Amino acid sequence: AQYQTTAYRASILHFVDDPAVSQTPYEYYEDGVLVVGTDGKVKAVGPANTVLNNYPYIQVVDYSGKILMPGFIDSHVHYPQTEMIASFGEQLLDWLNTYTFPTEQQFSNKTYAKSVAKTFINELVRNGTTTALVFGTVSPNSVDALFEEAQTRNMRLIAGKVMMDRNAPDYLLDTPASSYTDSKALIQKWHKNGRALYAVTPRFAPTSTPEQLAKAGQLLREFPDVYMHTHLSENKAEIAWVQSLFPSSTGYLDVYNSFGLSRNRSVYAHGVHLRDDEFQSLAQTGAAIAFCPTSNMFLGSGLFNLQKAEQYGVKVGLGTDVGAGTSFNALQTMNEAYKMTQLRKAFVDDPSTVNPLKAIKAYYLATLGAARALSLENQVGSFKIGNEADFVVINPNATDLLKFRMQKTNTIEDKLFVLQMLGDDRAIQNTYVMGKKQTVNGYGSGYYQY
Ligand code: GUN
Ligand code: ZN
C-alpha cells in the first residue's frame, strides 16, 4: 500500500511564505487531501472534493479530525548529547566542561555511536521531526553511525564531524590537517548520498585555532554546496572569550566572516547577543540563525531577538539544541519561544515594541522557515508540488486537557496556539518520510497509539 499513489485526508496546513512579510502566508484546508506519488513526492494538495475528483480511483487514508502538516525541521541539534539532556546547574562554558566533553568522548566507539544514533532518530520520529541539522562529535565514526541510521529510514539529514583543535580535553582534539582530511573524506562519502547532506562543523570559535578555521573555509570553497554549521553569540562569557582569543577581530561574527564561513547554507546556532551590524552582516551574506529557545532558557543564555532578525531579513529556523535544549518536540520548543517573547517585555526599555510570537509564525519557523534557513525549500518544509512528502499527522485532541480546551477554539490559528502550548509527543500520531509511515521499535510512531 505504501507504494501506490495515496491520498491522505485530514485538516491540512502548510506555509507558502513568511507571516512577517505576507498577508497570506499559509494554506489551510479544513477538509483537505494530500496526494503522494509512488516516488514519495507531493502530487497534489487542496480541498478534498476538488482533489479527489481528479483521482477517482485513488486509495484514501482517512485522518479526518487530525491536522496534517509538513514534518518538523530541527535546524540545530547534537545527537551525541541525547544521553545528557537535562543535566543540572551549569551555564554554557562550565556545562561543556562538566557534561558535554566527557559524554562526547564515547563516540569514537562506532558500536556505541550506533546505539545512540538509533535512539536519537527514534526520538525525531516520535516527535514528528523529519529533517535535522545535526552535530556529531570530533570522531568520524560518530557521523558514519548517524548517517547509516538515518538511511534506514531514508531521512533527509544534514550532519558533520566536529572540528576542534584547542580548549577542550586532549582526547577530543583533532588538528587542522586531520580535521580537513577527515571532513573531506566524509563529504565524499555522504554528501548527496541518498538524502544525506554534509555540514562542515567547527564547534565554535573558541575551540578552533585560526589555522583550523582557515581549513573550514578551504573545505567550503572546494565543496561549495555543503553546509557550514557552528555556534555564535550564545553566552556573554563566551563572547568575551572569543574577543580575547581573536583580539584583532571586530566581534564574534567577524571571526567567522574573516575565514569565509558566512554564505547561504551557513547556519549559526543562537545569535542571542548579536549587535545590529552583525544582524545586517548575516542578512547580506545569506547565513541563517537557528533559534533554540529551550536551550537559551535552560543554560540561562539570554533572550533571542526574533523581531530584529525579521527587521534585517535574516533567515531563521527553529532548533531544539538537545542536549542543552530540553525537548525534541517542536510544539514544546514553540511553547518556550512564545514565553521568551513574553519575557522580553520585562527586559526592554519600551515593552510596547515587543510583540508576542504568533502561533502562525512559530509553526512557520519549524517548517518552511527552517527549510529556507537550510536552503531546502525546494525539497521539504511545505507541500509544494514535487517536494518530498515528509509529513506529520497531529491529533489536536490527544490529551483530556487538549480535547477540553479545543472545544473553546474557533479559528485554526487558535487551535494551533493551544496545541503549541499544551501539546507534546502525545499529539504526534504518525510521522511519514517520503510518503512512508514510520515505526519505532515495531510500533506506529504515535507513542500512545500502541
Ligand atoms: N557551544 C559550543 N559547543 C556547544 C554545545 O555543545 N552546545 C551549546 N548549546 N553551545 C555550544
Ligand atoms: Zn548547540
Same domain, 60 and 81: no
Same domain, 310 and 241: yes
Tell the residue nearest (CA) to atom 8 of ligand 1. Answer: 324
Best mutation site among 75, 203, 241 for ligand 1 pocket (most ligand atoms within 8 Å of CB): 203
Residues with CB under 6 A from ligand 1: 78, 92, 96, 100, 203-204, 231, 234, 295, 321, 324
Q: Cell 517548517 identifies what position?
A: 367
Same domain, 333 and 404: no
Contact 396, 66 (CB under 8 A): yes
Residue 309 inside a domain? The answer is: yes
Determine the Cα–Cα distance for residues 46 and 228; give it in Å rounded to an integer: 36
Residue 374 inside a domain? The answer is: no
Contact 105, 111 (CB under 8 A): no
Residue 381 inside a domain? The answer is: no
The DSSP secondary-structure symbol of 41 reads B
Residue 390 inside a domain? The answer is: yes
Range of the domain at 208: 72-357
Tell me the whole-structure pTM to 2 decimals.
0.98
DSSP bridge partners of 60 = 7
Same domain, 166 and 141: yes
Q: Give the cell for residue 35.
A: 496526494
Near ion ligand 2, which residues have CB within 5 Å?
A: 269, 321
Residue 353 inside a domain? The answer is: yes
Residue 363 inside a domain? The answer is: no
Same domain, 434 and 298: no
Q: Give the cell for residue 36.
A: 503522494
Tell the residue nearest (CA) to atom 5 of ligand 1. Answer: 96
Q: Give the cell for residue 81.
A: 548529547
Q: Give the cell for residue 385.
A: 508540488
Same domain, 172 and 308: yes
What pLDDT is recorded for position 314? Answer: 98
Same domain, 137 and 164: yes
Q: Give the cell for residue 171.
A: 582526547
Contact 155, 130 (CB under 8 A): yes
Cα 231 to ligand 1 centre (Å) = 7
Same domain, 316 and 426: no
Tell the residue nearest (CA) to atom 7 of ligand 1. Answer: 324
Determine the Cα–Cα distance for residues 370 and 277; give it in Å rounded to an integer: 23
Q: Which CATH number fits the domain that encloses residue 392?
A: 2.30.40.10
What does each of the 450 residues of the chain score in pLDDT, given as a tens digit? 446 899 999 999 999 999 999 999 999 999 999 999 999 999 999 999 999 999 999 999 999 999 999 999 999 999 999 999 999 999 999 999 999 999 999 999 999 999 999 999 999 999 999 999 999 999 999 999 999 999 999 999 999 999 999 999 999 999 999 999 999 999 999 999 999 999 999 999 999 999 999 999 999 999 999 999 999 999 999 999 999 999 999 999 999 999 999 999 999 999 999 999 999 999 999 999 999 999 999 999 999 999 999 999 999 999 999 999 999 999 999 999 999 999 999 999 999 999 999 999 999 999 999 999 999 999 999 999 999 999 999 999 999 999 999 999 999 999 999 999 999 999 999 999 999 999 997 776 655 553
Same domain, 181 and 136: yes
What pLDDT is recorded for position 450? Answer: 39
Residue 373 inside a domain? The answer is: no
User: Of 340, 447, 435, which is closest to residue 392 (Cα–Cα)?
Assistant: 435
Same domain, 166 and 305: yes
What pLDDT is recorded for position 2? Answer: 47
Q: How many domains, the chain?
A: 2
Contact 179, 211 (CB under 8 A): no
Residue 162 inside a domain? The answer is: yes
Q: Which CATH number fits the domain that encloses residue 216?
A: 3.20.20.140
Same domain, 23 and 111: no
In our burial notation (b when 16+ CB lie closer than 10 A, e otherwise), range 91-120 reads bbbebbeebbbebbbebbebeebbebbbeb
Last residue of a domain, one of 357, 374, 401: 357
Cα 212 to ligand 1 centre (Å) = 18
Tell the residue nearest (CA) to atom 11 of ligand 1. Answer: 231
Cα 159 to ligand 2 centre (Å) = 13
Q: For residue 301, which atom of ligand 1 is closest to its CA?
A: 9
Cα 76 to ligand 2 centre (Å) = 6
Last residue of a domain, one of 320, 338, 357: 357
Same domain, 319 and 393: no
Best mutation site among 204, 208, 235 for ligand 1 pocket (most ligand atoms within 8 Å of CB): 204
Q: Give the cell for residue 247.
A: 583580539
